[in-house]
Structure 1
Amino acid sequence: MSNEKTKAVLNQAVADLSQFAVVIHQAHWYMRGKGFLTMHPRMDDYMDEINDHLDVIAERLIIIGGSPYSTLKEFADNTKIADEIGTYSKTMEERIAVLLKGYRYLKDLCAEAIAVTDEENDHVTQDIFIGFKADVEKTIWMLEAELGNEPGL
């Protein structure tokens, strides 16, 4: 049984989660405006959650015989999450929109990973991505609610 697609999607998640942690950190450092007192500390929670998922995913990749990306160059070369230079000019709503874009991408990556792991019969990895997807969907719901929107899942 080959698990090359599973290894590839796990490593994609390693690159994307590493990049997204930086995106969240940038939001944390550069945010200003209404909601700051609530959202600024929440960014720490989001970074912790992303880093926890990153560790589980990288370790799973190692367990099944893969080699996780582990350099900034590898993360940058392989991520599909864009970055940009930090600026204080974004509104709180614009910052949340950037985060939502990243979380929605991760939701779709999880869906892809669930399909790949089903195809390759790796139900342990599939379970990891199912749990991760549930966490991401909850965060999307909360961020959309902060903007006064439905989650749109």
Structure 2
Amino acid sequence: MTEHTYPQTKQVLNQAVADIYKAISIIRQAHWYMRGQGFLYLHKQMDKLIDGLDGHLDELSERLIMLGGAPYSTLKEYDQVSQLVEVEGSFEVPMAERLNRLVDLYEYLATLYRQGLAVTDEENEAVANGLFADALADAEKVSWMLKAELSR
């Protein structure tokens, strides 16, 4: 690695760490509190979504460390830094509302990943750029699939 410190790249990587961790929590809540039509297949799908985000979380965190950064690693840090808002779980939330919330979540993540692409391109950090590109592709696909489920 070069002597370049990649300050903006490290910042956006750490923002992604906080937001992805919180996104996993939001999806896990959907998984646990899900009720209604579609439960049998959507309940299993939530595990796949969590696993996908967890993979990106690990890759982005490790890249941050390789660049000399320190990823957030506490619930307090995630809550202070993340732009995502958690709400109390409820069995009364209709399935469509729950899925619409996940669409919003993935659209937010896609916007964050696009920021990551811009910053890493500006700072010529190709590896993190590739990680953000992969995460963006996944976020756009999940958002598209959720919208299709909702007939949007």
Q: Shorter-chain TM-score category? A: over 0.9
For 1:68, the aligned partner's letter is P
Q: Distance in 2 between matches of 1:113 and 1:49?
A: 18
For 1:105, the aligned partner's letter is Y
For 1:81, the aligned partner's letter is L
After superposing on structure 2, the runs of 4+ consecutive aligned residues of structure 1 that deviate more than 3 Å are: none
Q: Distance in 1 between matches of 2:133 and 2:78?
A: 23
Aligned partner of 2:43 among 35, 40, 44: 40
Gaps of 5+ in 1: none
Say whether 1:80 aligns with 2:83.
yes
Aligned partner of 2:94 among 91, 105, 120: 91
Say whether 1:31 aligns with 2:61.
no
Cα RMSD of the aligned pairs, angstroms, is: 0.7
Task: Report % sequence identity.
Answer: 47
For 1:69, the equivalent position in structure 2 comes to: 72
Report the TM-score, using the length of structure 2 for normalisation.
0.96
For 1:45, the aligned partner's letter is K
* Residue pairs, 1:1-153, within 5 angstroms: 1-149=4-152
Provide the secondary structure at the position in 1 that maps to 2:23: helix
For 2:40, the aligned partner's letter is L
Shift of 1:2: 3.9
Aligned length: 149
**Aligned residues of 1:18 and 1:75 also touching (Cα < 8 A):** yes
Provide the secondary structure at the position in 2 that maps to 1:148: coil
For 2:106, the aligned partner's letter is Y
Q: Distance in 2 between matches of 1:3 and 1:13?
A: 15
**Aligned residues of 1:14 and 1:58 also touching (Cα < 8 A):** yes
